[in-house]
Amino acid sequence: MKTYRKELFFQLPTRRGLVNITPQVEETVRESGIREGLALVNAMHITASVFINDDEPGLHADFEDWLERLAPEKPYSMYRHNGYEDNADAHLKRTVMGREAVVAITGGKLDFGPWEQIFYFEFDGKRKKRALIKLIGE
């Protein structure tokens, strides 16, 4: 069994943003030479998420609207955490969307269902962040 590790770096120009990272994960699988195993992809910051879903702009807008209704960014004063920072909503959004995605690797490729893609969702951007890709297999 072998492992392979790679980091992806992000610095989104906006507070929130969604990035399809499927191509980078697929390239990492190719680089690794792993043919059968698992790919773990996780956000390395508590105000960002990695998840699997459809790459459809209407759905992406729905995520943004839904999350903003669940945990509105403002008024900042509504959150106790915002006595330290102004990103309490980002922590809550990350909790809802999740930390990581795990995908099987079969025949040297990500073994997705129809329409599945991997996304990095930033909730407190404008600074350098990262995600981890960790592969394990043979």
Find all residues with CB under 8 Å of 121, minimum gap 6, and list them. Answer: 16, 17, 18, 19, 48, 49, 50, 51, 63, 93, 97
* Per-residue confidence (pLDDT) for residue 65, from 0 to 100: 98
Both tokens assigned to 9? 């770096």
pLDDT for residue 84:
76
CB 21 within 8 A of CB 48: no
Model pLDDT for residues 47-99, shown as the tens digit of each residue:
999 999 999 999 999 999 999 999 999 999 999 998 878 999 999 999 999 99
What is the pLDDT at residue 110?
98
Structure tokens at 7: 């980091």
Q: What is the pLDDT of residue 82?
A: 86
The identity of residue 32, as a single letter, is S
- Cβ atoms of 94 and 129 closer than 8 Å: no
Does residue 23 surpass a pLDDT of 80? yes
The domain limits of the chain are 2-137
Residues linked to residue 40 through DSSP beta bridges, in sequence order = 102, 134
Tens-digit pLDDT profile for residues 107-131: 999 999 999 999 999 999 999 999 9
Report the CATH superfamily, name and number, of domain 2-137: YjbQ-like (2.60.120.460)
